[in-house]
Amino acid sequence: MPLSVAVLMDPIRAIKIAKDSTFAMLLEAQRRGYDLFYMEQDDLALRDGVAFARLAPLSVRDDPAGWYELGAAQWRELRGIDMVLMRKDPPVDAQFIYDTMVLEAAQRDGVRVINDPRALRDCNEKVFALHFPQCMAPTLVARDPAELRRFVAEHGEVVLKPLDGMGGRGIFRVRAGDPNLNSMLETLVGGDAHGEGRQFTVAQKFIPQISAGDKRVLLIDGEPVPYALARIPQGDEFRGNLAAGGRGEGVPLSERDRWITAQVGPELRRRGLRFVGLDVIGDYLTEINVTSPTCVRELDAQFGLNIAGLLFDAIENAPA
């Protein structure tokens, strides 16, 4: 019997298939003869402790003129599905957290969920990297604007970013003495005049090697793909994110990249994080992306890889 695979993702009608890693996974799953099903966040439910989903049969093709077809959606118990790919993009907000709770119920009933729902809740993509301080540049996570200002003064040049952002949105580069620092902190930290409602903000010492690219290093069951995608800032932009206009260039992993993956990989395996993307600038780990890591299509195209195939091989060969 073929495996049945359901994917929870953002609307498939709006994806860019040349860059969408979830689409690469769906193409590979279909090539292997898996039965594919599609759902979005509204399609999840939990009844009497049993996870349900409104699932639509899905077929895909690598054609920008029309890359998917959906059959009639029907509610069914998720425990009748072999595998769920949880590929919803951030933000990891309250609704995302509730989704992981439903998927955890499915997991208890024997469904393989990629990535593990509990790990998705526990491993914030900015904070989880701080489990490996030996790999990181100086980093502060705080709500207090005064503490963040002290960090900027101490390190001279700093990147500020929100705790739940993605794609380079809401990121600022600031130098000590910049008259705009208070405005940046007001934007990121927020809150009222009494400090109520403030949000955690990440401050990280600026790494000049960003000019050579913000490398995305992909790991499958804690083992690295041998090439990374260096996302290189263009023009006056300091952000390398592809969504912010960065240019993607494939590069072999360096010795330092492999050292970082050796530090991080065992913990990823322990937590059931089967497919993860590390962000590495120069010699430093900056983020650990666990929700919906990208760059599969670009690396496949540049190096003749099949990263989704490696992922499904690992899943198929893992103990039940």
Active site residue 126: yes
- Which entry of 88, 239, 271, 297 is annotated as an active-site residue? 239
Q: b/e for 223-254, b at 16 or more Cβ within 10 A?
A: ebbebbbbbbbeeeebbbbbebebebebeebe
- Which entry of 115, 124, 241, 289 is annotated as an active-site residue? 289
Cα 18 from chain centroid (whole Å): 18
Active site residue 88: no
- Which entry of 28, 125, 287, 300 is annotated as an active-site residue? 287
> Which residues are bridge partners to 252 per DSSP?
227
- Which entry of 215, 216, 274, 297 is annotated as an active-site residue? 216
For the four alpha carbons of 89, 90, 95 and 97, in that order, the dihedral sign comes to: positive
248, 231 Cβ separation under 8 angstroms: yes
276, 218 Cβ separation under 8 angstroms: yes
- Which entry of 231, 271, 274, 297 is annotated as an active-site residue? 231
- Which entry of 116, 257, 279, 298 is annotated as an active-site residue? 279
- Which entry of 161, 215, 274, 297 is annotated as an active-site residue? 161
Active site residue 287: yes
Active site residue 316: no
Terminal alpha carbon distance of the chain:
16
Active site residue 150: no
d(CA 99, CA 10): 13
Active site residue 279: yes
- Which entry of 87, 88, 112, 126 is annotated as an active-site residue? 126
Catalytic residues: 126, 161, 216, 231, 239, 279, 287, 289
